[in-house]
Amino acid sequence: MEELADQFVFGKANVFGSASFYDFLQPENQGKKVYICNGSACLTAGTQPALREELLKKYKPEEIGEMCCFGKCYEAKGYLEMEENSSSPPRRTGGQAGIRDEGLGISKVQILTNEFTTIKEYYKLWEKVLKTSKEELLNELKVSGLRGRGGAGFPIATKLEGCLHAKGDIKFIVCNADEGDPGAFSDRYLLEERIHSVLLGMMIAGFITGASWGVVYIRGEYPRSIEICKNAIEELKQQQLIGENILGSGFNYQFKVITAQGAYICGEETALLSSIEGQRPEVRVRPPYPVQKGLFNKPTVVNNVETLACIPFIIEKGGAAFAKLGKGRSTGTKLVSLDSHFNKPGLYEVEMGTPLSTLVNEMAGGFRVPVKAMHIGGPLGGLVPVSKINDLTIDFESFAANGFLLGHASVVCIPEDFPLIKYLSHLFKFTAHESCGKCFPCRIGSTRGYEMLEKAQNEGYKIDPVLFNDLLETLEIGSLCALGGGLPLPVKNALQYFNQELSTYFKNA
């Protein structure tokens, strides 16, 4: 750290502030040889205590650490083994490598899960793009109605247009591959099985905006994704599909892959940019937005893996072909990650607007065990009681209208016999661990909430509902970003739909 401080004239405190932020770099994680997943899907599956016993046959207790989600929620029992020297990047995840794809192909609509052909065949589209006008390409994206798949649902064409018109000697396309939501593994699927849709999507976005750099920010918990991405970029270089004056077009484009070091908040786009810059990844105040002042203060488009992976289809088949699919303002398809509680867990590509009941009961074959709720859209998504399955369709509007959030469309089930108070406590603990610390409703409030829920479970403490509601309200309206601001949603859903189960932990019940 001292060497880095000297080299970058950054100051020792700044280097320490950045390095100490990340899970992989924490002093208590030095010397760890394996990490057990403590994410939501493995927690509710109840697989981790037995997994720990199993790993203790091979590792000493002090060599075993914990980390959140390796994208293996479809089978639970998630863990990550490190190389001998634990400060090196992680090498392999436990269990099966890659994504179990039994769920694939069931859906009639395939945009993202279509069979990959060959580089030669696939990149014919790139040759065409380089001969097309930016305006024409942008127009196809406008017509497609493609909205961001990373959670907020913002139209991609608006971002690209903003960046195209922003002034800057250098511009960036950043792919947000930090997929931190426990329960989600759709980005991992795309990175490992359909990497060229992601890379070509970034290249087309670069061509439209005039950005000459594509930066792929991939979480360190996905070592295989990083390796596959780097190899694919190497292949593109060899085929001269990236680099200087690509295919004589005058357009330059190159990639940089960043291995993230373990911090959920780095999925938030401004924290992600600070992380790439080597700063402590705290969330930035917006405006200015990244398209105006992003990476190194240059115009930057940040998009989710899945959003970018939709671009080649839209440009090849036309925006209208994409817009024809879906429902209302939610066009196209959505990848949905189902956890191990389903009879057929795995990844599904469904047309937007597909009834949730079709996915759960027909495609996934129903639940393997009795389930009372599904946590959909990550830790900040809504807690959907099973009684609402018939009311929802898989699209942004239906979830919002029913008081939930589609988010990244990951589904973590809460079995009948799993105490909800324990699940809520897990959500507060997760937020407390992942809070960037910039604003105190989130930094302090998440810890106070966790303490209350733990005392209620273990010490017979009765939570004052007024105090608890004050805490939720402060988090909701006083937090700078959606980590602190979004935590109250699943908690409120739980209080609304499972009042009877939770009331014993509250005063005046």
Ligand X SMILES: Cc1cc2nc3c(=O)[nH]c(=O)nc-3n(C[C@H](O)[C@H](O)[C@H](O)COP(=O)(O)O)c2cc1C
Interface with ligand X (CB under 6 A): 148-152, 154, 176, 178-180, 265, 267-269, 302-304, 307, 481-483
What the block records as the tokens of 80 is 């990550």
Structure tokens at 338: 């189902």
Write out the H or E segment, with its range, that includes residue 486.
helix 482-486
The option from ligand SF4, ligand X, none interacting with 180 (CB < 5 to 8 A, set by class) reads ligand X
Binders of ligand SF4 among residues 411 to 430 (CB under 6 A) are: none
If the CB atoms of residues 8 and 440 are measured against ligand X, the closer one turns out to be 440
Q: How far is the CB of 179 from ligand X (least distance, A)?
A: 5
Sequence-distant (6+) residues with CB within 8 A of 263 are 21, 22, 23, 271, 275, 281, 434
Among ligand X, ligand SF4, none, what does residue 439 contact (CB within 5–8 Å per kind)? ligand SF4
Which of 230, 193, 406 shows the shortest CA–CA distance to 309? Answer: 193
CA distance 165 to 201: 20
Give me the helices (H) in 406-464, please. 420-434, 440-458
Rounded Cα distance between 271 and 265, Å, is 7
Q: Tell me whether residue 372 or residue 438 sits nearer to ligand SF4 (CB atom).
A: 438
Question: Based on CB atoms, which residue is closest to ligand SF4, 216 or 439?
Answer: 439
The answer to the question of residue 449 lying near ligand SF4 (CB under 6 A) is: no
- Exactly one of 483, 489, 494, 495 binds ligand SF4 (CB under 6 A); that residue is 483
Please report how close the Cβ of residue 93 comes to ligand X at its closest, in angstroms. Answer: 18
The answer to whether 267 contacts ligand SF4 (rule: CB under 6 A) is no
Residue 437 as a binder of ligand SF4 (CB under 6 A): the answer is yes
Give 508's DSSP letter.
T
Closer residue to ligand X (CB): 93 or 435: 435
The three-state secondary structure class of 121 is helix
Task: Supply the minimum distance, in Å, between the C-beta of residue 391 and ligand X.
Answer: 25
Q: Enter the tokens of residue 453.
A: 């829920």
Report the b/e string of 405-431 with b at 16+ CB within 10 A.
bbbbbbbbbbbeebebbebbbbbbbbb
Which of the listed partners (ligand X, ligand SF4, none) does 351 bind, with a CB threshold of 5 to 8 Å by partner kind?
Answer: none
Q: Which residue in 94, 438, 476, 505 binds ligand SF4 (CB under 6 A)?
A: 438
Q: Does 379 bind ligand SF4 (CB under 6 A)?
A: no
Give the residue with the Cβ less far from ligand X, 90 or 201: 201
95 vs 478, which CB is nearer to ligand SF4? 478
- Give the span between the Cα atoms of 355 and 346, in whole angstroms: 18
Using CB distances below 5 to 8 A depending on partner kind, what does residue 480 bind out of ligand X, ligand SF4, none? ligand SF4
Total number of residues that touch ligand SF4 (CB under 6 A): 14
Using CB under 6 A as the binding rule, whether residue 442 contacts ligand SF4 is answered as yes
Interacting stretch for ligand SF4, rule CB under 6 A, among 5-13, 184-192, 327-335, 438-446? 438-446
Q: Does 265 bind ligand SF4 (CB under 6 A)?
A: yes
**CA gap 491, 165 in Å, rounded:** 42
* Helix residue ranges per DSSP H, 184-287: 186-193, 195-209, 223-238, 269-276
Under rule CB under 6 A, which residues in 452-481 are in contact with ligand SF4? Answer: 479-481
Instruction: Show the DSSP H helices in 57-155 as ranges.
Output: 119-122, 124-129, 134-144
Q: Quick one: what does residue 413 bind among ligand SF4, ligand X, none, with the CB cut-off 5 to 8 Å set by partner type?
A: none
Q: H/E/C letters for each residue in 34-63? A: EEEECCHHHHHHCCHHHHHHHHHCCCCHHH
Question: In this structure, are residues 339 and 183 in contact, taking their beta carbons and an 8 Å threshold?
Answer: yes
User: What is the C-alpha separation between 437 and 20, in angstroms, rounded?
Assistant: 13
Q: Which pair of structure tokens corresponds to residue 167? A: 């002034």
| Tokens coding 405 | 């959030």
484 is a site residue for ligand SF4 (CB under 6 A): yes
Among 300, 435, 474, 493, binds ligand SF4 (CB under 6 A): 435
**Nearer to ligand SF4 (CB atom), residue 103 or residue 490:** 490
Nearest Cα to 335, choosing from 323, 318, 352, 322? 352
Residue with Cβ nearer ligand SF4 (200 or 427): 427
Using the minimum distance from each CB to ligand SF4, give the nearer residue, 9 or 285: 285
Handedness of CA 171, 439, 432, 377 (dihedral sign): negative
Residue 284 contact, options ligand X, ligand SF4, none, Cβ 5-8 Å cut-off depending on partner type: none
Q: Which of residues 269-298 bind ligand SF4 (CB under 6 A)?
A: 283
- In the complex with ligand SF4, the residue whose CB is nearer, 18 or 340, is 18
CB of 161 to ligand SF4, least distance (A): 28
**How far is it between the farthest Cα atoms of the chain?**
75
**Binding region for ligand SF4 (CB under 6 A):** 265, 283, 435-439, 442-443, 479-481, 483-484
